[in-house]
Amino acid sequence: MRIVIADPLAYSAPFERALRAALPSADFVRWPDLADGAEYDLLVAWNLPKDMTALPRSLRAIFCFGAGTDQLLHDPRIPPDLPVARLRDQGQAEQLLDYAMHAAFARLLDDVVVRADQQARLWRPPDRQNRTRGSLRMAVLGLGPLGLHVARGLSDAGFPVSAWSRTARRIDGVGCLHGDDGLGACVDGADVLVNLLPSRRETRGILSDRLFSRLAPGAYVVNLGRGDHLDEEALRAALDQGRLGAAWLDVFAVEPLPPEHWFWRHDRVRLTPHRAGLPTPQGAAASIAAVATALEQGHGVPELIRPGKLVEN
């Protein structure tokens, strides 16, 4: 099994050790150090490198090294009949849940108001009793494996959770809705909106004023999906008008985020540079090993998303 590694994160020593432990007989090669005329079985990448004008010879599959696969599925360099498998990493899912939980507790404790009062040196008694988890409504968009983990985790922590997906789902402890009508019902009155949808034509711009207007006053919007889900100007208006309390953003339409972008300066925006859910060495290595072993033994490739249809994160 010859595997091309084309992701900088996977070049690190912890990932290299984990990969070699999981696949001791495999031959790993870093891009672009491919031998002339050599054939390769599996390519590991989140994005194809810009200088990869042609795929490695005899490639049998691509492993998506990260959450979300749309950047590969829309890449014209990848033929539609080449299998693409996605990462399944419990550690990555836990990180995304932690991020969503962090935002939920920040909303619960009125973090934005508290920090503003501190900056103003203002000792202001609360205008209401402290809320409990059970009084804070969460809405999760996207019920793929990652969204499912986040929705369940928030529910297990005591938050009432509604979740929306394109097709009908059923999850104990989570109010599941689907379709166009279900979307509005999912977000109605929510205090925290967590987006984990994939990038599709139908989901681009979904985080819009139409949704923001249905949230509870002072709600937080948490975008862990894709940057193109967010209507940035609608978000700015909702924040500046006080209709939204804060936005926690980890993904952006343009990455790296340009230094002149208003997100950097807005006091109600908390941003992180696309790091809310990173692959872990052991989880990624196990997932890559499962795909490599399936290819070697002629079995069905696990977590296969192409050939096939786009799926939710």
Token readout for 260 is 């002149």
Q: Tell me the C-alpha distance between 89 and 94, whole Å.
A: 9
Instruction: Answer for the pair 112, 247: CB distance below 8 angstroms, yes or no.
Output: no
Active site residue 74: no
The full set of domain ranges for the chain reads 1-87+278-307, 90-269
* pLDDT given at position 309: 44
Q: Tell me the C-alpha distance between 222 and 249, whole Å.
A: 6
pLDDT digits (tens, 9 = 90+) for 49-71: 999 999 999 999 999 999 888 89
Query: Nearest Cα to 187, choosing from 205, 208, 172, 156?
Result: 208
Q: Tell me the C-alpha distance between 257 and 63, whole Å.
A: 26
User: Assign residue 179 a region: left if phi > 0, alpha if psi is -120 to 50, beta otherwise?
Assistant: left
* pLDDT given at position 304: 86
Active site residue 88: no
* Axis crossing angle, helix 13-22 with helix 281-297, rounded to the nearest 10: 40
Distances (CA, A) of 198 to 112, 193, 229: 29, 16, 9
Distances (CA, A) of 307 to 78, 81, 82, 241: 11, 6, 7, 45
* pLDDT given at position 61: 96
> Considering 2, 107, 152, 274, which one is annotated as catalytic?
274
In the block, tokens 């005329």 appear at: 37
- Are 1-87+278-307 and 90-269 in the same CATH fold? yes
pLDDT digits (tens, 9 = 90+) for 284-309: 999 999 999 999 999 888 888 865 44
Strand-pair category, 61-64 with 42-45: parallel
The fold adopted by the segment(s) 90-269 is: Rossmann fold (3.40.50)
The overall pTM is greater than 0.75: yes
In one-letter notation, the amino acid at residue 163 is A
* pLDDT given at position 184: 97
Instruction: Answer for the pair 190, 138: CB distance below 8 angstroms, yes or no.
Output: yes
Superfamily of segment(s) 1-87+278-307: NAD(P)-binding Rossmann-like Domain (3.40.50.720)
DSSP string, 169-224: --BTTBEEEEHHHHHHHHHTT-SEEEE-----TTTTT-BSHHHHTTSPTTEEEEE-
High-pLDDT (> 70) share of the chain, %: 96
> What parts of the chain have a pLDDT lower than 50?
308-313
> Considering 107, 200, 214, 226, which one is annotated as catalytic?
226
* pLDDT given at position 307: 56
